[in-house]
Amino acid sequence: MENPKNLEEGLAHRESLGNGEKQQNEVSEHPEAEEKEEQQPEKQKSKRVATLDVFRGLTVVLMILVDDAGEAYPLINHSPWNGCRLADFVMPFFLFIVGMAIALALKRVPKKRDAVRRIFSRTLKLLFWGVLLQGGYSHAPSDLAYGVDMKLIRWCGILQRIALVYMIVALVETFTIKHRQKILNPGHFSIFTAYRWQWLGGFISFLIYMITTFALYVPDWSFVNHDEQKRYTVWHYPVNCGMRGHLGPACNAVGHVDRAVWGVNHLYGGPEWRRLKACTVSAPSSGDLRDDAPAWCHGPFEPEGLLSSISAILSGTIGIHYGHVLIHFKENSKRLKQWVSMAVGLLIIAIILHFTDAIPMNKQLYSFSYVCFTGGAAGLVFSGFYILIDMWGWRMPFLFLEWIGMNAMLVYVMAAQGIFEGFINGWFYKSPDNTLVYWIQDHVFNDVWKSERVGTLLYVVFAQITFWAVVSGVLHKLGIYWKL
């Protein structure tokens, strides 16, 4: 999400997909092509990667859809624990995009010191916005109050995870770029050996995650639940663990690491596991907890925590591999062969691990099977867009996604985080519940369709996604982008 013009990218890139055309200063498979490129004048302007913008726009749209309509349609919401639903693809898709953008932006690094400075600068900006938007300071769109008790602030979140993955993957790329092979050796796997250092970084993150997950001892823990204002104690809950390698909600190593590092009061207070049958009779929807619900059902859990974010580095590594393929291979058929074979391989690994119960897919734990499944899905979706847009020339039908993708940071903050709706709600008549936003929801959508579920979906599609697509298109025509 880190991009001067986008939520994910972070470094400006102007690359050509080229349909097999050569770019100036771009690495090549053939030495003679390399020599020709070096002789070309520097006047040519390279084109932006339209497919990447469209894919980024799709991911932002999915985030808005599942965040705002997921409660009405639980099947598109996050899986309460094991499994993978539509909402669970959003985070790894963003990280996949981050990886691809890094590969394209860091094709050439004239001065490593400048690159490192930019990387740390953008990382800090992402961390700042992440804590501001998801740390509890903003209560938009429904609650017009703002501010957060520093004893209860949430340190982790979506942008914080993206910042960590971006920093690690970009630094590895920066410091190993001198080892890049300009001419790949023959063979399908030569692209992997050419970037062995990047894969080594991903493998180290995999080892850290797996060893910690299955070897770390998780002791008993407890927490204190508060009322909505968190001003007085309601109840004290003890959770009995004393085990290793547990992959359930209560006693996994991912939660233990976050409780030890951040403290139990700084974790996300509404984990998805509360929609499990063990916790609520409303499952898979949200609802009041059962009277006999286990203690852990009442507890906090950080879905973007430290250990799971280390595992998420693999999603960025998969993305940067796809970017390397885009750089090195000039023919569409060769690009697609690399992309699709990689995606299918990842999907097969994920399905075997999940359905044998060896390592179930789990977004909250960011399990290895989840990384493989979502990485494979991202590869197939990107390949599909590439065929439609860059091979068949069907760019117009996806133009609204491209506009959103080019101004993804703006749309993320204003729409996905509800800042724009919160601003509109601030102009109410007599009561904070009597605002333009609520009036549109009730009278234009819910009342007309006589269904809150259908009205909610149509409100999200038209009053949010379509609205911000139009705004992004206008801003694009004016050359206005949110830059980090």
pLDDT digits (tens, 9 = 90+) for 334-383: 999 999 999 999 999 999 999 999 999 999 999 999 999 999 999 999 99
- pLDDT recorded at residue 308: 97
- pLDDT recorded at residue 245: 95
Residues facing residue 222 across a β-bridge: 238
- pLDDT recorded at residue 116: 93
- What is the value of pTM for the model shown? 0.88
- pLDDT recorded at residue 117: 93
pLDDT digits (tens, 9 = 90+) for 63-122: 999 999 998 999 899 999 999 999 999 999 999 999 999 999 887 777 888 899 999 999
Spell out the residues 6+ positions from residue 190 whose beta carbon is closer than 8 angstroms to its own.
181, 184
d(CA 476, CA 464): 18
Tokens 């602030």 belong to 153
> Which residues in the chain land under pLDDT 50?
1-46
